[in-house]
Structure 1
């Protein structure tokens, strides 16, 4: 299919995700890509395969448009939910926006109970508005503290579309900016803010507001930096890029791979979903079609013609994918099936293609 004839097959990475299953040191596996390319299905299938070799596996959805419940056909909530049919696989769905709103509500309640709060909640709200991403960073910090407190050998993250994922990786920089801004305001205007806070009934300790904000941000930064160090360790973390054989998806994948490289995140696996007949190329199918089209009904000829056009387009982009990644990445081709991959049994069956790819030589 792809033009890799000039490369010795023995030198090519295996076209599967078996390398992830076999790397028992991995603790964090991220699955990401453009919206609508099958990230959730890939995450579920990867979790199922990992459950074969690990004691306890957790799949976490950080995408606001959660699909884990739909994929497994069972209700999955904010706490680890055991997946029916497994003794060692759980899943949970996290909404970062709701987490941040809950955090702000807690701060308001604390402020009502403690006069020394001095406007903590209002200043935190002002900070989140002035520094884009700080709310996501703090929510992610809370998520990671929660996940790390759980007893799981490996966690698979079903992430939001590419842009959200890249913001996640920039959280340490965002927090540094936030701390710098707060400290600058405290140094330059601390006295004035304190006087104004006291005049407005902020309590006997006008410096409590700034100190509390700095404390919260510093605590968040410690967690994020620790997590970031783990994410940059290829023995602990890897990122699986998911795409479909279309131009925009391949383009987005290349952007994602480059950005992950800049952040020092290991990525050496590409999953290409919705592939028509991975075991055949368009030339083979065209030969069959040319030899049989005169015997086909008009409707069948039209259907086959459209299918062949789509197959040629897919082959072109799959070839580009192998040109870009074939020598350094495990590129797994997942077939387009004639049914939805929903429910444990169908996910189990489909997951086998991640470790036992369709034989393109047959």
Structure 2
């Protein structure tokens, strides 16, 4: 067993990044570490770079882009880098110097150009790099902790300093997808300084957070390797949620521990060389200062939690959800929710259930951190499977745009275009194009899409009109798949969103925000899926039963929100992988 994680002795650098696959406890670990450091007398700033941030849920405090003091922890401040707010502030800052100098028509054109999806990315990135390089801010705090988005997007964020610096070094024509490069050029030294801070082991520590499970460990290994490639060498591994003492008679607890031990035994080689620490499994939801302060210490379970939890047997099963989707004739099904709630497994089980009923099904993922092939297995002839790979889509999109314009541009114009397509923003456009093409397949097959964690999904879905502009600007044409996308997503006879959650505070809060945002965008939701429920599993282990009792409040909240369209899936002692296990799960007879 590795050493217990102790922030006071193990976190020494000014900048601390917490990253990992969605649902592994990054936010809990980062928040608890921030509280412990602040309680010791350190001045601490905790920043979320996750569009689906839940810092406000953990501290029960409204947060903004700017540091807010946390009541009850005198030395602690927190902030959310909200991309939309950052983009609006960035646009105002860029346009302001030209008001009264340039004609109104030119200013209007600048504002329209700065309303695209690329501006959202560069604005959030701009705030991130400012935090990394602001000497005045650094002098005010002993530690600045970053609670980051799940690793696929964290990798992109941490690679952006190099990407934008390289783009500015190479760019000769003075323009980018954000308009004139003058504003970016002024940031060039800032971006270089950010790269240096990230790669300096005396300044920055990367804390890779994982659960003792195969998929999160694989994701942590990938993140470790890729970030070492960008120069971020100072890394620690923290395994969250270790259950070391349990009721041997309890099948759920035994299966839980067996799965943990198997995953740790098979830990990827990339992680074995890192300093490794662990955090005990907490028998409570990690919200509120009392629980945050107890998070790193093994806690004795409540003796009242030794009896099984009773769950309403009338709650529908996954089979009921699949039957309803089939009866309604739905052609596009999304699984959405906070990272780590089991969207990939639920999406795969829905796809298998529909295939078993004789339907042609295509299963795909837009989540860069998803391990779809691992969940569904290699031998799956009944379902076609794909993955939206950003690097592949970028290269394909660049080649397509150049080919479309090769005959109409001279050498100088073609060079201008090729340079513009090397902008980091182009990848976002390419991925969006692939997403639209994926939905277009619903004319031939039922399309089941396992999406990225909610913040990035919403940015993707909510930015359709902006991407229209970006694609038209880059290639001159907007494909039919992009034009058809939003009407398809808004049609309840064609599209259905399954909101996947755990019966815990943060996933339910986030799922509720997701439902509101989707409603605002006109995208229909009907079913909720409460996944991996200890309450429904019938455990009597003290720690797991403690978690089961904590679930009851959130199960009731979901049932109320879903108005009868909520299913519950028990936590299973055997990991659900492969077609046959997914088939049993979809038929509600998994044993």
TM-score (norm 1): 0.70
Partner of 2:489: none
Q: Which runs of 5+ in 1 are unaligned?
A: 2-13, 187-208, 290-303, 354-362
In 1, Cα distance between equivalents of 2:295 and 2:219: 25
Q: Does 1:310 align with 2:310?
A: no
Aligned counterpart for 2:149 among listed residues 150, 160, 163 = 160
Aligned counterpart for 2:202 among listed residues 217, 227, 235 = 235
Aligned counterpart for 1:330 among listed residues 241, 253, 275 = 275
In 1, Cα distance between equivalents of 2:93 and 2:17: 30
**2:34–2:44 contact (8 Å) kept in structure 1:** yes
SS at match of 2:295: helix
- After superposition, residues 141-156 of structure 1 pair within 5 angstroms as 141-144=129-132, 148-149=136-137, 151-156=140-145
Aligned counterpart for 1:348 among listed residues 282, 293, 308 = 293
Aligned counterpart for 2:73 among listed residues 82, 86, 90 = 86
Q: Which runs of 5+ in 2 are unaligned?
A: 299-591
Q: Does 1:95 align with 2:82?
A: yes
- After superposition, residues 87-236 of structure 1 pair within 5 angstroms as 87-115=74-102, 119=106, 122=109, 134-144=122-132, 148-149=136-137, 151-179=140-168, 183-185=172-174, 213-236=180-203
Partner of 1:77: 64
**1:54–1:153 contact (8 Å) kept in structure 2:** no
Partner of 2:227: 260
Q: Does 1:38 align with 2:38?
A: no
In 2, Cα distance between equivalents of 1:347 and 1:271: 16
Partner of 1:202: none
SS at match of 1:113: coil
In 1, Cα distance between equivalents of 2:42 and 2:279: 27
In 2, Cα distance between equivalents of 1:163 and 1:59: 21
In 2, Cα distance between equivalents of 1:60 and 1:130: 22
Partner of 1:26: 13
Call closer, same or farther: CA 1:316–1:124 in 2, change over 3 Å. farther
In 2, Cα distance between equivalents of 1:229 and 1:129: 27
Cα RMSD after superposing both structures? 3.3
**2:282–2:295 contact (8 Å) kept in structure 1:** no
Partner of 2:322: none
Deviation sequence 1:62-112 (CA, Å, 0-9, x none) = 111121111122333333222222221221122133212321134344444
Deviation sequence 1:18-60 (CA, Å, 0-9, x none) = 4x63368511000001111111100011112222445311111
Call closer, same or farther: CA 1:80–1:352 in 2, change over 3 Å. farther
In 2, Cα distance between equivalents of 1:147 and 1:36: 33
Call closer, same or farther: CA 1:313–1:324 in 2, change over 3 Å. farther
Number of aligned residues: 294
Partner of 2:49: 62
Call closer, same or farther: CA 1:323–1:129 in 2, change over 3 Å. closer
**2:221–2:271 contact (8 Å) kept in structure 1:** no
Q: Which has the higher contact order (CA 8 A, sep 6+)?
A: 1
Q: Does 1:249 align with 2:194?
A: no
- Deviation, 1:123, is 6.0
SS at match of 1:351: coil
**2:44–2:142 contact (8 Å) kept in structure 1:** yes
Normalized per residue, the structure richer in helix is 1
Call closer, same or farther: CA 1:308–1:148 in 2, change over 3 Å. farther
Partner of 1:196: none
Higher mean C-alpha displacement, 123-132 vs 25-34: 123-132
Call closer, same or farther: CA 1:25–1:267 in 2, change over 3 Å. closer
- Deviation, 1:134, is 4.2
TM-score (norm 2): 0.45
- Deviation, 1:133, is 5.3
In 1, Cα distance between equivalents of 2:100 and 2:89: 17
